[in-house]
Every structure is written in structure tokens, then in C-alpha cells.
Structure 1
Amino acid sequence: MRIPRIYHPELLPSSGIVSLSDEAANHVGRVMRMQAGQEVLLFDGSNAEFPAVISNASKKNVEVEIQARNEVSVESPLDIHLGQVVSRGEKMEFTIQKSVELGVSTITPLISERCGVKLNAERFEKKLAQWQKIAIAACEQCGRNVVPEIRPIMKLEEWCAEEYDGLKLNLHPRATYSINTLPEPVTKVKLLIGPEGGLSADEISMTEQYTFDEVLLGPRVLRTETTAMTAITALQVRFGDLG
């Protein structure tokens, strides 16, 4: 049986007894029904793993004894900041989950002219908390020890206008160049993925104003969630650690 990987929201010591967070304790004690003596693998976002043994477990409280701190990094050498226009329903959750698995470092949800999601500030705050939990769960599954940040929701132009010292890309079906023709080396990419209806003509012009390069993925029109996965994979194959 694979040893469960559990995220801890605070920095962990190299040894000693630690109480898991309420959410983690509920998962370990109530959902997985783990008992004292069983092993877990903790991580706290510091790019390290902490093998531990459960010393006390109930449905509401779980204590573990940390055995060691091991520096283990599976982070990509390519730093990808994904700007994803918020998509409907489970599509956004899917995009966040798979982006984390593929090694994205930062995710910023965006609002554009054709964004199909209309929520008030309170609902968006709840969405952000939910998306961050999805990112954490993806790290637990895929072995990452650094949890990508889900930034607060921004308007598209505000995000494009931010200072950035890496390559800035906007996918466009009429672009001349592909990811495979981008010059090397590239270590940082700010990647813009538009909404289901695409960016408006004014928004495309705006991205050019802020020096985004347009690239082509292929001859077929992809859904927004497929576009994100395809572009990230292509970038990781060319400049990162896939393939």
C-alpha cells in the first residue's frame, strides 16, 4: 500500500510529535481510518518530506511522530505562471488540478470580456479557497512538495500589465510561430489562456501592447481546459522536465 502524503499548513520540525490540521486529521482518521503505528508522509511546502508514524488517531484528532526531514524536489526547472480566464463549473477545477500535476508554479484566475462566470466578491473568495484545496490535493497525489499559489482573481489587463522578466505568451489560432520554434533557453513563462469564447479583438491588441508573443498550438480549435493542458505540456517538453 502506498504511504499517504499529507499536507501540513505550518512549517514542520525535523523530529517530534505534531498534531495534524483538522482537515488532515479528518481525512486520516475518519475517511482513511488509519490507526496508530501506520506511516504517513508529510510535507509543508518547503520542498521537503517528513516521514512520520501515527502515534494517536481518532476521528477528530491525529498525532504523528516525525522521523526525519528529507529534501526531495520534483519541481520543474521551468517556472510557469498560468493566467487562466475563469471557466464554468468543473472546468476550472480540472484546469487547476492538472496544471499543478504538470508543474505550474503560480496560477492567477482572470476575468475577461467573454468570461462566462459572474460571481460576487464573497463567492469568488469561496472559490479561491476551494481552488487552493484542489492544488494541495494535487500535490499530495503527484508528489510535489511545493504548493503552487492560487492568486486572487484579477482583471485581464491588470494581470497583463504586471512587470515580468520572463517570456510572455498568448495562444492564438492565427499565430505564425509554435512553441517548438521559440528560441532557447527559457526558464520563466507567463502563459495566458483565454475563455471558452476566446479573447476579444481589443484584448488581443492589448496583450500585444504588453509585449505578449502569440504562438500557435496546432490546426484544431481546443476547449479552454484542453488548451491549458496542451500548452503546459508542450512548454514542459521543450523547456522543462517532461519527455
Structure 2
Amino acid sequence: MRIPRIYHAGPLPAEGSVKLSEDATHHLTRVLRLSEGQPLHLFDGSNHVFDARITVADKKNVVAQVHAVRPQDCESPLHLHLGQVMSRGEKMEFTIQKSIELGVNVITPLFSERCGIKLEGERLAKKIQQWRKIAIGACEQCGRNALPQIRDAMNLDDWCAEHEPGLKLNLHPRARHSINTLPLPVERVRLLIGPEGGLSSEEIAMTSSHGFTEIQLGPRVLRTETTALTAITALQVRFGDLG
């Protein structure tokens, strides 16, 4: 059986005993039904793997003994910041999960003029926490040891106005440029993915005023979740570590 990978919030020791979180305890004892003596791989976001073994396992507590630590870098040389206008239901969860598997470093959920999500206050805060848990699960599954950042939600205008080095890209079906025509090298990309109905003409003009380059992925119109994953994959093939 594959050794389970578990994220631990907070620095892990090179050697020593660690009490795991409530979520990890539930997963290990109720879902995987692991018991004392079984091995674990722990990570804390520091890009290291901590080899451990379970010493206590009951319904309320799991304690692991760390006995070795080693660097394990699975990060792409391309730094990707995804600005994703929020989509309905499971589409946003799917986009977050799969984009992290593909190597995205930062995700900012966005509100736009045609955004189909109306969240605020406590409901929005709970949704952000849920997406952060999905990010942790994606890292546990795909082998990443550096935890990507899920930022608080922002308005599209504010996100576009932020100062960040690197190439800024906005997907548009009638753009003149494609990812293959972008000049090499590129180390950082800020990628904007709009809602199902697309950005308004005013929003497109606004992104251009902030230095975003419009690119297209091909002759077909893709759904927002398909667009994000297709663009990320193409960027990783050209500038990152896929292919």
C-alpha cells in the first residue's frame, strides 16, 4: 500500500513526536483505518518530506514519531499565479484541485461583473477555508511539499491593479497571440481566467490598461474550468516542467 502523505500546519521537527490535526486523525483512523506502527510521510510546506511512524492511533488522537527528514522539490521553475473568477458549485473546487496538481503556486478567487457567485461575510470565509482544505488534499495526493496559497477573494479591478513581476495574461478567444508565440524565457505568469459569460468589454479594456496580454488557446470556446487547466498545462509545457 502507498504510504499516506499528511500535511501538518506548523514546522515539523527533524526528530521527535508530533500530534496530528483533527482532520488528519479522522482521515487516518476512520478512512484509511491505520494503526500503530504504520509509516507516514509528513510535510509542512517547507519543501521537505518527514519520514514518520504512528505511535498512537485512536478515534481522537494520532501521534507520529518523526525519524528522518529529506528535501524533496517537486515545484515547477515557472511561478504561476491564477486569478480565477469564481464559478458555481463544484467547478471552482475542481479548478483549484487540478490547477494545484499542475503546479500553480497562488490562486486568488475573483469577483467580476458576470461572476455567478454571490458570497460575502461568513459564507465567503467558510468557502475560502473549504478551498484551502482542498488545496491541502491536492498536495497530499500529487506529492507537492510546498503548499500553494489560496488568497482571500478580491474584486477583479483590485487584483489587476496589484504590482507583481512577470508576464500578465488574459484568455480571450479572439486574441492575436497564443502561448506558443510568447517570447522565452518566462519565469513568472499572472494568469486571469474569467467567468462562464466572459469578461465585459469594460473589464477587458481595464486588464489591457494594467498590462495584460490577451492570448487564445485555439478555435473552440472552452468552459471556464477547462480554460484554466488547458492554459496552465500549455504554460507548463512551454515554460515549466511538463513535457
> TM-score by structure 2 length?
0.99
Query: Please, which runs of 5 or more residues in structure 2 have no aligned partner?
Result: none
C-alpha separation between the residues in 2 aligned to 1:66 and 1:180?
Answer: 45
The question of 1:140 aligning with 2:143 is answered no
C-alpha separation between the residues in 2 aligned to 1:44 and 1:206?
Answer: 39
| Alpha-carbon shift at residue 56 of structure 1 (Å) | 1.1
C-alpha separation between the residues in 1 aligned to 2:25 and 2:15?
Answer: 19
C-alpha separation between the residues in 1 aligned to 2:170 and 2:100?
Answer: 20
Two-structure CA RMSD over aligned residues (Å): 0.6
Name the structure 1 match of 2:186.
186
Kindly provide the CA deviation profile for residues 156-208 of structure 1, in whole angstroms up to 9, marking residues without a partner as x: 00000000110000011111110000000000000000000000000000000
Query: Please, which runs of 5 or more residues in structure 1 have no aligned partner?
Result: none
Name the structure 2 match of 1:83.
83
SS of equivalent residue, structure 1 residue 67: strand
The question of 1:112 aligning with 2:134 is answered no
| Alpha-carbon shift at residue 10 of structure 1 (Å) | 1.0
C-alpha separation between the residues in 2 aligned to 1:90 and 1:116?
Answer: 13
Name the structure 1 match of 2:196.
196
C-alpha separation between the residues in 1 aligned to 2:185 and 2:80?
Answer: 14
After superposition, residues 202-213 of structure 1 pair within 5 angstroms as 202-213=202-213
Decide which moves more: 60-69 or 104-113.
60-69
- In structure 2, what residue type is equivalent to 1:170? N
- In structure 2, what residue type is equivalent to 1:148? P
The question of 1:51 aligning with 2:51 is answered yes
| Alpha-carbon shift at residue 120 of structure 1 (Å) | 2.2
Is the CA contact 1:30–1:58 (under 8 Å) kept in the aligned structure 2?
no
Spell out structure 1 runs of 4+ moving beyond 6 A. none
Aligned-residue identity in percent = 66
User: How many residues are matched?
Assistant: 243
The question of 1:68 aligning with 2:89 is answered no
Name the structure 2 match of 1:161.
161
C-alpha separation between the residues in 2 aligned to 1:18 and 1:68?
Answer: 13
Kindly provide the CA deviation profile for residues 31-90 of structure 1, in whole angstroms up to 9, marking residues without a partner as x: 211111100100000000001011111011011110111100100000000000000000
